[in-house]
Amino acid sequence: MEERHLDAIADADTYPYWYEDVDEPDSNPTLVRTESCDLCIVGGGYTGLWTAILAKERDPSRDVILIDAHEVGSAASGRNGGFVDSSLTHGIANAQTRFPDEVGVLEELGLKNLNEIEAAVKKYNIDCDWERTGTIDVASTFHPSSYVDELRDDYAHLRKLGQRVEWLDREAMQAQVHSPTYVGGLWRHDTGALIDPARLVWGLKAAAESLGVRIYEDCKATSIERDGVGVMVNTPLGRVRAGKVALATNAFKPLLKRLNNYIVPVYDYCMVTEPLTPSQLESIGWKGRQGLSDIPNQFHYYRLTEDNRILWGGYDTMYYFNNRVRQELESRPESWAKLSKHFFETFPQLEGVRFSHMWGGVIDTCSRFCVFWGRGMGGRVTYALGYTGLGVASSRFGAEVMLDLIDGRRTRATATDFVQSKPLPFPPEPFRFVGIQATRWSLDMEDRTGKRNGWLRTLDRLGLGWDS
Ligand SMILES: Cc1cc2nc3c(=O)[nH]c(=O)nc-3n(C[C@H](O)[C@H](O)[C@H](O)COP(=O)(O)OP(=O)(O)OC[C@H]3O[C@@H](n4cnc5c(N)ncnc54)[C@H](O)[C@@H]3O)c2cc1C
């Protein structure tokens, strides 16, 4: 009885479920000579690919090269939960704390961005199981404070902004999805979609190539340097001589050293079950197939896949000393065991279900929990990063603004404090590691007791924090 959550993960493959797909594209060659272009994009996740696509859509004559250290979509963009959330700010509560005067415009820009992603998926014929289901933020007894008040605040604010939101009391929530832990929920009807993340990133790769973007894989940028009025991007076997460079390297070691102060790489873990049988599905309801998430400091996110598996992830995010990013850190059995235990506490009626795949990936956490931008090398280099685990949709916005900055365009977005400001930096090691561990411990205590301790209140005053 006690070990059932361990039995459920015993046979799972430690590999992203989304990569088990016959439609995975062939790899591209690496770069073995010196090439020139107008714009070189470093990083082939959503941010880099959207930058490439939008750059060609704006100006088809612009010569664009994209390079990736591994394969396009091999990092977060190919292995995430597939929640496409319109929020640019990691939720409205964070927008209210950090950009109180811009909440309305940021929500509007976020929704527009989501609609534009939907339009692009259609335009480029990207078969990524797009489902505009909306999202339910769940209040549950999983934690002593079920966070009902916080959710009600979000509901009131979103309603005031004219969004199509619905408050679900215990009964209405249970009518959507059955779990003995649910006491309420906030259904955001229009602001969320679900996708197969790998199929989206592969589809964006194909779209970029169809527009004439040259993509090199297994091609790590080892350094960048000024080169006349442009920039030289050095790779192990070649070089790119570019007019401008866009950095879309997310949580990986930044090519501009100072960016190390602003982001920390954090590992997030998730898993999927085997496909549910019709009677197992019946036992949980979930006819609306919405993306679900609870909202404590340490939260779970979960959803149905196209073939009715449940993807279940989050909660136990990890920072490793000195910004470590390594493939072996994508595997963490203790986190998967904890997630499995929480899964059966949430859905006890699914006893006997087993997980088929479990994996992890790295996200780029910054102290404001949402994307920021900047420039280097006298404006030749631009970057967008810091999505903190909610980047599937906002990476397109990150790319669009990065391109505005490259092109010197002034828009409604570039006029905002959100675009113009930066997060507070993290301290250097060992203070960074100690501070993060103290914060994670304090957030866990808050989730358990409902009380915010002195350390967290101090961080609140400084505008610092921790999220995933
Ligand atoms: C397990 C997990 C679940 C998640 N779930 C969700 C979710 O459901 N919804 C959501 O909104 N967000 C989610 N996220 C976050 C989301 O996936 C990311 O915010 C988003 O994919 C970031 O895209 P990106 O292109 O900026 O970064 P990435 O996808 O990380 O791409 C960066 C690329 O840069 C390349 N690179 C790095 N350095 C170099 C270099 N020097 N030279 C060349 N290439 C380089 C890397 O190889 C990589 O391919 C999740 C993340 C993880 C890990």
User: Span 60-77, mean pLDDT?
Assistant: 98
User: In this predicted structure, what is the pLDDT of residue 458?
Assistant: 84
Distance CA 234, CA 375 (A): 19
Within 229-310, residue ranges assigned H as helices are 278-284
State whether the beta carbon of 372 lies less than 6 angstroms from ligand 1: no
User: 251: which 2 tokens?
Assistant: 């949580």
Ligand 1 atom closest to Cα of 385? Answer: 26
Integer distance in angstroms from the first to the last C-alpha of the chain?
32
User: Taking the mean position of all CA atoms in its chain, how far away is CA 142?
Assistant: 24
- pLDDT tens-place string over residues 23-54: 899 999 999 999 999 999 999 999 999 999 99
Q: Which of 19, 49, 66, 68 to mutate to test the pocket of ligand 1 (most atoms within 8 A of CB)?
A: 68
Q: What DSSP character marks residue 143?
A: S
The strand ranges marked E within 318-410 are: 318-319, 355-365, 372-376, 381-385
- Work out which ligand 1 atom sits closest to the CA atom of 85: 11
* Cα–Cα separations (whole angstroms), residue 187 to 153, 165, 243: 13, 6, 46
Q: Are 269 and 360 in contact (CB under 8 A)?
A: yes
CA torsion, points 106, 110, 112, 116, in degrees to nearest 10? Answer: 150
Top CATH class of 4-17+131-190+263-365 equals: alpha beta
Does any ligand 1 atom lie closer than 6 A to the CB of residue 270? yes
Per-residue pLDDT tens for 302-338? 999 999 999 999 998 899 999 999 999 999 999 999 9
Q: 44 CB under 6 A from ligand 1?
A: yes
Q: Are 185 and 147 in contact (CB under 8 A)?
A: no
Over residues 382-400, the mean pLDDT reads 97
Q: 437: part of which helix (H) or strand (E)?
A: helix 431-449
Contact 422, 256 (CB under 8 A): no
CATH number of 31-83+198-255+368-420: 3.50.50.60
pLDDT at residue 442 in the model: 85
Q: Higher-confidence residue: 3 or 268? A: 268
Q: Distance, CA 250 to ligand 1 centroid (Å)?
A: 6
Domain ranges for the chain, please list them.
Answer: 4-17+131-190+263-365, 31-83+198-255+368-420, 431-462
Residue ranges in 382-426 assigned as alpha helix (H)? 394-407, 417-420
Residue pair 228/219 in contact by the 8 Å Cβ criterion:
no
**Mean of all residue pLDDT scores within the chain:** 94
Question: Could you tell me if the CB of 249 is within 6 A of ligand 1?
Answer: yes
Judge if the beta carbon of residue 42 lies within 6 A of ligand 1: yes
Nearest to 159 by CA among 118, 112, 107, 110: 107
pLDDT recorded at residue 145: 67
Whether 79 lines ligand 1, by a CB cut-off of 6 Å, is yes
248 in contact with ligand 1, CB cutoff 6 A: yes
Q: For residues 385 and 259, is the Cβ–Cβ distance under 8 A?
A: yes
Percent of the chain with pLDDT over 90: 86
125-147, pLDDT tens digit by residue?
999 999 999 999 999 987 766 68
Helix (H) / strand (E) element for 341: namely helix 333-346
Ligand 1 contact via 80 beta carbon (within 6 Å): yes
pLDDT of residue 125: 98
Is any ligand 1 atom within 6 A of the Cβ of residue 70?
Answer: yes
Give the pLDDT confidence score for residue 247 in this predicted structure.
98
User: Are 309 and 17 spatial neighbours (Cβ–Cβ below 8 Å)?
Assistant: yes
Substitution candidate for ligand 1 out of 392, 396, 401 with most atoms within 8 A of CB: 392
Residue 457: count other Cβ atoms within 10 Å of its Cβ.
11
Whole-number pLDDT of residue 454: 85
CB-ligand 1 contact for 361 (6 Å cutoff) = yes
- pLDDT higher than 90, residue 291: yes
The closest-lying atom of ligand 1 relative to the alpha carbon of residue 221 is 42
Q: Are 350 and 344 in contact (CB under 8 A)?
A: yes
CA 434 to chain centre: 25
Residue 2: pLDDT over 70: no
Predicted local confidence at residue 48, as pLDDT: 98
pLDDT reported for residue 144: 65
Tell the residue number behind the tokens 């396009």, with chain if given: 72
Measured from the Cβ of residue 103, the count of other Cβ atoms closer than 10 Å reads: 21
Please compute the mean of the pLDDT values over residues 151-173 and round it to a whole number. Answer: 94
